[in-house]
Amino acid sequence: MKLLTVILPNLLLFIILFVSISPLSNGFKEKTLAVGGIFPMSGSWAGGNACLPAVLMALEDVNNRTDILSEYKLEMSYDDSQCMPGLGTKVLYNLLYSKPPKLMVLSGCSIVSTFVAQAAKMWNLVVLAYGASSPALSNRQRFPTFFRTHPSATLHNPTRVKIFKRFGWTKIATIQDTQEVFQSTKEDLDKRVKAAGIHITVTQSFLTDPINAVRSLKRQDARIIVGLFYEDVARKVFCQAYKEKLYGKKYVWFLIGWYPDNWYKQKDDSINCTGEQLAEALEGHFTTEAVILHQDSSITDVGMTAKNFTTRLNEALNETDTSKVRGYPEAPLAYDAVWAMAFALNKTSIRLAEKNLTLEDFDYMNKDITDEIYSAMNSTKFLGVSGNVAFSSQGDRIAWTQIEQMINGTYHKLGYYDAVADNLTWFGKEKWKGGKIPQDKTVVVNSLRVVSPALYYSMCGVAFLGIIAGIICLVFNHLHRQRRIIAYSQPLVNSITCIGCMICLLCIFMVGLDGKFVPKHQYSTVCQVGAWILSIGFTLGYGSMFAKVWMVHQLTTARKKERKEWEIHVVIAVFLLFDVAILTVWQIMDPLQRKLQFFPLENPINTEDDIKLLPQLEHCHSEHLSVWLGVLFGYKSILLIFGIFLSYELRSVKLKQVNDSRFVAMGIYNVVVMCVITAPITLIIGNQQDASFAFISLAIILCSFLSMGLLFVPKMVEIKRNGVQQEQDNSGLTDSLVSREEEERHQRLLAENEQLKKQIADVEERIKDVNGKLQERARQRVLLSKEQKIQVQAELNESPRHNTDNKSCAEFNRLNSKKIRFCEEVEEVPNYPYPSPDRRQLSPRITRSEPFC
Ligand code: ABU
């Protein structure tokens, strides 16, 4: 009995205690409230694997609490969405159209939640997402009944910007899946980096296959790359990054941090890269993720510490390596989502009671109860296992972010960022592959392409020798100016040619002057001086030779046979004036300036540095360069063409008065040929400084050396061969080039030739007439009989006309012999310019007349 009195009260106390705190106590909760659950158990984010056990655990815990929803037991119907919007929507409809009505729906995975939340408003249904990060969901107009315990992905962006600034990166690239969740994250990132003075230089997005997007990143020299995609796509991206070598010491990748730790080791048939290859490509990448486990060891409002929760979850999952379980990081959010729902429904039931309503009265038509649930959710605040749970006006969670880096295949914490307080806690444990912070872009170093010194000095050396040779020629020309061979070759013109060649040779020194010798600001002066020197040098050198052949042509063709020496000088002066006029106008209106031509970037040799060389080539340029060159070259080309024509005409002429005209003609040929070859080739190889300098220099050298050589070497040889000759006074010869005696003879012959030409023309006219008649007769002969023909022939023989024809024939023969005499006389004059054309003119006529006579 005594034993009974001791045991009974204790037993009763035990029973009371057991009933109030044991899980069996929910047996007192006789009414049930139905909620729905949509869990992605596979697909892009298979977070349901860890979140569903966490939700079931939370439901049990809520139902075990007598102080929350004391009359109601929460029951959840759920299904798998595979993180596919279509399937997720189907699951929603199944939940909606199966009894009892669901007061709320839990959902995960942004792409499913977007569809579910958009549709749920039509059924006055509140949706609470435990695993949806899409910033697009923070839109009250579009999703009026949506809440989430998962922070928005925009939470990562301030953290990313903070890190960019920390490492001094101002140029970044992005690559993202075209899913709305990632597009909206990228849009938010755009705004934030812009505000921080950082530029997104490359943006790549892709629908299913990231191959081209990754290639494009590589091509556009992306260095700091933010990747926004689900983990299955991340494997594809990094497989391609591995193939494109878009990783290593030059690159830094920023990825989403909520992938499971071993995400890249998962077997994936959609890629042909091994886990090791992915690990190699991923080494050193950064991740950012929200801190979603309460960091404190205190007991939370849900009756346990975060650590207790983890232990219980691990037991429920029955998995030693929890990093392999999809959705493990989000499990606290799922657990807290159930508690948030319970707290809100609890508050709603109290408010509804005031209106004589109950939660059981909820149906999809009853907006009042939905409004109550919505407002209760809005004001729900508690400390959960994921930290402080509260909802902003957009229904978002606020949380810290943690930054991690993959070092030797495992994620290491680098720090935390509190965006609200703008406080970055950095542990300084980051590691860089190359031992230093990667650059956000390739450092481009300008590299001026200059003429190779060996080439420049050798060409200048030859040009210098040419100038010395020119001086020797000038001295020789002056010393022997009284000698017949010099005196009859226009010594002053020879000197001008020589000076012109020397000026052209001097130009080689200017053409090769580039940034190696001349500072930038003086390069324009070099251009202008070079243009003047080359133009004047050419005009003096070539123009004087041209003037000489022109003079010879005048002497041999024109009626006025007396030419003064100064006329040559006038011709040269006119050319020079032309040059000066064009160059002056060019100089004043549109002077030559330094212009850089850029070439594709090149890799430097013998350096490990992350730099590229930008080859540059200096050019002389003016705005209307083509016009000026067109004018200058146009008139010089006319001179060249005319010069070569005159040279051809005078190829066999040898005048005593201008004894070197054939050598001058050869010099002109040479200049023309060199110009014709050099001009187009230098246009083609203008980008190759060495080749074009060598070509121009060689052309100038060849022209100058050959012109001076042709002009002076024969004279030097002649003078050397004849030794010391008697000096002759040539003053009279230089004054008047053609003697009176020769002139008169020449004029006589010309007049006689003209007269003969007229007579021949008369005779030919008559021959034509007779020929016509003969043809007429021959025709008639065919018609007549043989006798008639003989008769007609006889008549013809006796006819007076025949006598006339015979007379014509005799006249023609007389003229003809006179003409032959003239030709013979002309032949006697050696290399007289007319014989060739006149012979061509006369000979056929003589030949034609012979058969007739
Ligand atoms: N932390 C998982 C988020 C998944 C999603 O937004 O779809």
Question: Ligand 1 centre from 668 Cα, in Å?
Answer: 84
**pLDDT-derived band at 802, boundaries 50, 70, 90:** very low
- Counting residues of the chain whose pLDDT is more than 70, the rounded percentage is 83
CA–CA gap between residue 349 and residue 351 (Å, rounded): 5
Question: Ligand 1 centre from 440 Cα, in Å?
Answer: 29
Residue 207, token pair as written in the block? 């629908």
CA–CA gap between residue 708 and residue 497 (Å, rounded): 8
**pLDDT-derived band at 808, boundaries 50, 70, 90:** low
Q: How many C-beta neighbours within 10 Å does residue 754 have?
A: 10
Question: Ligand 1 centre from 176 Cα, in Å?
Answer: 15
Alpha-carbon distances of 273 from 175, 239, 263, 270, 410, rounded to whole Å: 20, 6, 14, 9, 19
Cα dihedral 497, 502, 504, 505 in deg (nearest 10): 140
Q: Is the pLDDT of residue 820 over 70?
A: no
CA–CA gap between residue 850 and residue 87 (Å, rounded): 113
The stretch 328-356 carries a mean pLDDT of 94
Please state the atom number of ligand 1 nearest to the C-alpha of residue 47.
Answer: 2
Question: Ligand 1 centre from 109 Cα, in Å?
Answer: 5
Question: Ligand 1 centre from 292 Cα, in Å?
Answer: 13
Please state the atom number of ligand 1 nearest to the C-alpha of residue 133.
Answer: 6
Determine contact, residues 308/27, Cβ cutoff 8 Å: no
Please state the atom number of ligand 1 nearest to the C-alpha of residue 150.
Answer: 1
Tokens 């928005």 locate to 152
Determine the pLDDT at residue 234. Answer: 96
Determine contact, residues 142/194, Cβ cutoff 8 Å: no
Question: Ligand 1 centre from 417 Cα, in Å?
Answer: 20
pLDDT in tens, 10-50: 444 444 334 334 444 445 677 999 999 999 999 999 999 99
Please state the atom number of ligand 1 nearest to the C-alpha of residue 258.
Answer: 1
The stretch 170-198 carries a mean pLDDT of 95
Question: Ligand 1 centre from 442 Cα, in Å?
Answer: 35
Question: Ligand 1 centre from 416 Cα, in Å?
Answer: 20
Q: Is the pLDDT of residue 815 over 90?
A: no
CA–CA gap between residue 123 and residue 222 (Å, rounded): 47
Question: Ligand 1 centre from 230 Cα, in Å?
Answer: 8
Determine the pLDDT at residue 103. Answer: 95
Q: Is the pLDDT of residue 788 over 80?
A: no
Of 422-426, 682-686, 744-748, the least confident: 744-748
Pocket test for ligand 1, best of 181, 263, 287, 288 (most atoms within 8 A of CB): 181
The stretch 638-667 carries a mean pLDDT of 79
Q: How many C-beta neighbours within 10 Å does residue 678 have?
A: 18
pLDDT in tens, 348-391: 999 999 999 999 999 998 889 999 999 999 999 999 999 889 88
- Counting residues of the chain whose pLDDT is more than 90, the rounded percentage is 53
Question: Ligand 1 centre from 26 Cα, in Å?
Answer: 33
Nearest to 328 by CA among 88, 58, 46, 38: 46
Please state the atom number of ligand 1 nearest to the C-alpha of residue 110.
Answer: 7
Determine the pLDDT at residue 662. Answer: 79
Question: Ligand 1 centre from 130 Cα, in Å?
Answer: 9
The stretch 587-615 carries a mean pLDDT of 87
Q: Is the pLDDT of residue 828 over 90?
A: no
Determine the pLDDT at residue 656. Answer: 63
Please state the atom number of ligand 1 nearest to the C-alpha of residue 83.
Answer: 7
Of 2-16, 206-220, 230-244, 414-428, the least confident: 2-16
Nearest to 283 by CA among 406, 404, 403: 406
Question: Ligand 1 centre from 388 Cα, in Å?
Answer: 19
The stretch 770-787 carries a mean pLDDT of 80
Q: Is the pLDDT of residue 560 over 70?
A: no
Determine the pLDDT at residue 511. Answer: 87
Pocket test for ligand 1, best of 150, 263, 386 (most atoms within 8 A of CB): 150
Please state the atom number of ligand 1 nearest to the C-alpha of residue 181.
Answer: 6
Question: Ligand 1 centre from 133 Cα, in Å?
Answer: 5
Query: pTM (2 decimals)?
Result: 0.62
Residue 125, token pair as written in the block? 């249904």
Q: Is the pLDDT of residue 306 over 70?
A: yes
Determine the pLDDT at residue 18. Answer: 40
* Pairwise pLDDT comparison (305 vs 728), residue with the higher score: 305
**pLDDT-derived band at 247, boundaries 50, 70, 90:** very high
Determine the pLDDT at residue 735. Answer: 37
Question: Ligand 1 centre from 522 Cα, in Å?
Answer: 63
H-only helix segments in 355-430? 367-378
Please state the atom number of ligand 1 nearest to the C-alpha of residue 112.
Answer: 7
**pLDDT-derived band at 252, boundaries 50, 70, 90:** very high
Pocket test for ligand 1, best of 81, 83, 115, 133 (most atoms within 8 A of CB): 133
Pocket test for ligand 1, best of 258, 259, 396 (most atoms within 8 A of CB): 258
**pLDDT-derived band at 737, boundaries 50, 70, 90:** very low
Question: Ligand 1 centre from 132 Cα, in Å?
Answer: 4
The stretch 432-446 carries a mean pLDDT of 89
Please state the atom number of ligand 1 nearest to the C-alpha of residue 134.
Answer: 6
**pLDDT-derived band at 736, boundaries 50, 70, 90:** very low
Nearest to 37 by CA among 84, 86, 75: 75
Residue 746, token pair as written in the block? 């020449």
Please state the atom number of ligand 1 nearest to the C-alpha of residue 330.
Answer: 1
Report residues whose beta carbon is within 6 angstroms of any ligand 1 atom: 45, 47, 109-110, 131-134, 150, 181, 258, 330
Pocket test for ligand 1, best of 49, 110, 325 (most atoms within 8 A of CB): 110
Q: Is the pLDDT of residue 798 over 60?
A: no
**pLDDT-derived band at 721, boundaries 50, 70, 90:** confident
Question: Ligand 1 centre from 784 Cα, in Å?
Answer: 121
Determine contact, residues 749/822, Cβ cutoff 8 Å: yes
DSSP calls for 647-668: HHHTTT---STTTTHHHHHHHH
Determine contact, residues 164/206, Cβ cutoff 8 Å: no
The stretch 331-339 carries a mean pLDDT of 96
Residue 327 buriedness (CB in 10 A; 0-12 / 13-18 / 19+): buried
Q: Is the pLDDT of residue 265 over 80?
A: yes
Nearest CA to ligand 1 atom 2: 131
pLDDT in tens, 63-102: 999 899 988 999 999 999 999 999 999 999 999 999 899 9
Pocket test for ligand 1, best of 45, 82, 292 (most atoms within 8 A of CB): 45
Q: Is the pLDDT of residue 51 over 90?
A: yes
Of 424-428, 552-556, 601-605, the least confident: 552-556
CA–CA gap between residue 833 and residue 749 (Å, rounded): 13
The stretch 300-310 carries a mean pLDDT of 93
Max mean pLDDT among 343-347, 608-612, 734-738, 743-747 falls in 343-347
Mean pLDDT of the chain: 84
Is beta strand 286-290 parallel, antiparallel or unpaired with respect to 401-407?
antiparallel
Please state the atom number of ligand 1 nearest to the C-alpha of residue 45.
Answer: 4
